Amino acid sequence: AQSVSQHNHHVILSEAASLELGCNYSYGGTVNLFWYVQYPGQHLQLLLKYFSGDPLVKGIKGFEAEFIKSKFSFNLRKPSVQWSDTAEYFCAVNDNDYKLSFGAGTTVTVRA
Amino acid sequence: EAQVTQNPRYLITVTGKKLTVTCSQNMNHEYMSWYRQDPGLGLRQIYYSMNVEVTDKGDVPEGYKVSRKEKRNFPLILESPSPNQTSLYFCASSSTGAGNTIYFGEGSWLTVV
């Protein structure tokens, strides 16, 4: 079974600051990588995903992530956050058995 | 509109009283799954199903049952709920194939007292 590690449990930052959330996974084979966001009181929504091709993936709402295979990492970035980015962010990984393994999540609080 | 629908969204129940959380998807997806979300633990998979009449255990199946009699429905059954099953539950579905997006329902808050 895979494990997924998210480095930060809670991140607090001000509007316009840059955001980077770390994600590492344990599986050494071919993987598909996802970032999901959960706004307060809502279900999970897909921010972006990687399964092949360009390792720099652009998603919705100005987010991007970079897959670095040698580091087993898939870090999420946004150059300038807004108050509305306050949410919980989950990194997830699956190999080809469709089971999605999630990290513990990172709560991001953006102060106006 | 593509949807994964769960019911009930909120439920408070007592220990030992059987309950079922329904899940239905309108995308003709083969794959369906149940997760529970607990603080600091992220989402953990309870059961999943690759197609009708095909179900398998996830990481935390104890205390739960599922069935997949129809492609669109995947109910989660708690035969004898206990307080440690108090959690937020999500149903999810996707088509099969590498990299396909998994769609989540809106979640069901379950409290067992």
Per-residue pLDDT tens digits for B11-58: 999 999 999 999 999 999 999 999 999 988 889 999 999 999 999 999
Per-residue pLDDT of A16-47, as tens digits, reads 999 999 999 987 778 889 999 999 888 899 99
Q: Among A5, A43, A102, which would you mutate to test the B interface (most chain B Cβ atoms within 10 Å of its Cβ)? A: A43
User: What is the enclosing helix (H) or strand (E) of A11?
Assistant: strand A10-14
pLDDT value of residue B34? 96
Q: What is the mean pLDDT of chain B?
A: 93
Residue A8 pLDDT grade (very low, low, confident, very high; cuts 50, 70, 90): confident
Instruction: Give me the half-sphere count of Cα atoms (radius 13 Å) on the Cβ side of residue B61.
Output: 11
**CB–CB contact B42 A42 (8 Å):** no
pLDDT at A99 (0 to 100) = 72
User: Predicted confidence band at A86 (pLDDT cuts at 50, 70, 90)?
Assistant: very high
When comparing pLDDT for A1 and A16, which is higher? A16
**Interface contact flag, A98 B40, Cβ < 8 Å:** no
DSSP letters spanning A25-70: E---S--EEEEEEE-TTS-EEEEEEESSS-SEEE-GGG-EEEEEGG
Band (pLDDT 50/70/90 cuts) for residue A96 is low
Query: Rounded distance, CA A81 to CA B105, Å?
Result: 27
Residue A105: is its pLDDT beyond 90?
yes
Q: What is the pLDDT of residues B66-96, one digit of tens each?
A: 999 999 999 999 999 999 999 999 999 988 7
Residue A29, CA distances (Å) to A1, A26, A34, B102 in order: 12, 9, 16, 21
Q: Is residue B98 scored above 70 in pLDDT?
A: no
Contact A100 B42 (CB under 8 A): no
| Chain B interface test: which of A47, A67, A97, A100 (most B C-beta within 10 Å) | A100
What residue type is A85 in one-letter code? D
Nearest to A81 by CA among A20, A38, A23, A31: A20
B99, pLDDT greater than 80: no
Residue A97's pLDDT band, with cuts at 50, 70 and 90, is low
Is there a contact between B40 and A9 if contact means CB atoms under 8 Å apart? yes
Dihedral sign for Cα atoms in the order A48, A3, B77, B81: negative
Residue B45, Cβ density class (10 Å: 0-12 exposed, 13-18 middle, ≥19 buried): buried
What pLDDT shows up at residue A48?
A: 94
Minimal Cβ distance to B99: which of A6, A43, A49? A49
